[in-house]
A and B are shown apart, each in its own frame.
Chain A
């Protein structure tokens, strides 16, 4: 149980285009999902917290108009990188919390590698 999927696993796009990444909790409900960004050989950087049915909360320095987050259901959150540029190339990872679990564990997706040409 507690499986999180991401789609696509990798994407290559041209500069100026928008890319949507999906994060799904497959066998549990998650009112809260998180989006992280990871640069090569570095730790995870929290970008935003996605709450089902409400606006996302962005970390300081993360442009909300650049990284659009939608959490329309208890099992799906999407991150859209708008007008992508080469500096947006990174590994994007989502995670989700299981409402039914007592402790504060996050379950991570496999990640999406974005390359902007």
Chain B
């Protein structure tokens, strides 16, 4: 079945440091890939997405490229801020009607220190 594996945390960085959170996936078909962010005490917010191979999703300085050859969707940001402290979830979903085939990674907690 489909699955997502992402880098275990927690990750602690200083402000303006470079961020990479690794995410790899296993899928039988051609899934869409997502990164969600969860701030303390809140639900999930979509950070970025990519729906086909070689697509690059980007938002708020974060980027991730859909790499079919390496089955990866690593999240990157060139210069993190304290406000980026949150938990990040990688996820995939294939079209399957009303069924929920969305699979989440375990989440990576990021703490950015000033």
Which A residues are closer than 8 A to B by beta carbons? 6, 31-32, 34, 41-44, 46, 49, 51, 93, 95, 97, 103-111, 113
Known: A46-B100, A103-B49, A104-B102. A113 touches B89 (CB 8 A): no
Which B residues are closer than 8 A to A by beta carbons? 31-32, 34, 36, 41-46, 49, 51, 89, 93-96, 98-102, 104-107, 109
Given pairs A34-B100, A106-B100, 9 additional interface contacts (CB within 8 A): A42-B106, A49-B99, A51-B98, A104-B101, A105-B34, A105-B46, A107-B46, A108-B36, A113-B41
Interface centre among B45, B49, B95, B98 (most CB of A within 10 A): B98
Q: Tell me, in angstroms, the Cα distance from A4 to B99 when the chains sit together.
A: 19
Residues of B contacting A34 in the complex (Cβ-Cβ under 8 angstroms): 100, 102
Flag if B43 contacts A111 (CB, 8 Å): yes
A/B interface sample: 28 pairs, CB < 8 A: A31-B98, A32-B98, A32-B100, A34-B102, A41-B109, A42-B107, A43-B89, A43-B105, A43-B107, A44-B104, A46-B102, A49-B100, A103-B95, A104-B32, A104-B93, A104-B94, A104-B95, A104-B101, A104-B102, A105-B32, A105-B49, A107-B46, A108-B43, A108-B44, A108-B45, A109-B43, A110-B43, A111-B41
User: Closest Cβ of chain B: how far from A62's Cβ, in Å?
Assistant: 13
Residues of B contacting A110 in the complex (Cβ-Cβ under 8 angstroms): 42-43
Q: Tell me, in angstroms, the Cα distance from A46 to B104 when the chains sit together.
A: 10
Of all A-B residue pairs in the complex, the 6 with the closest CB atoms, nearest first, are: A104-B93, A111-B43, A108-B44, A110-B43, A32-B98, A108-B43
Interface centre among A31, A44, A93 (most CB of B within 10 A): A44
Chain B, Cβ-Cβ closest to A94: B43
User: What secondary structure prevails in chain A residues at the interface with B?
Assistant: strand
Flag if A111 contacts B42 (CB, 8 Å): yes
User: Closest Cβ of chain B: how far from A61's Cβ, in Å?
Assistant: 15
Residues of B contacting A111 in the complex (Cβ-Cβ under 8 angstroms): 41-43
User: Closest Cβ of chain A: how far from B86's Cβ, in Å?
Assistant: 13
User: Closest Cβ of chain B: how far from A57's Cβ, in Å?
Assistant: 8
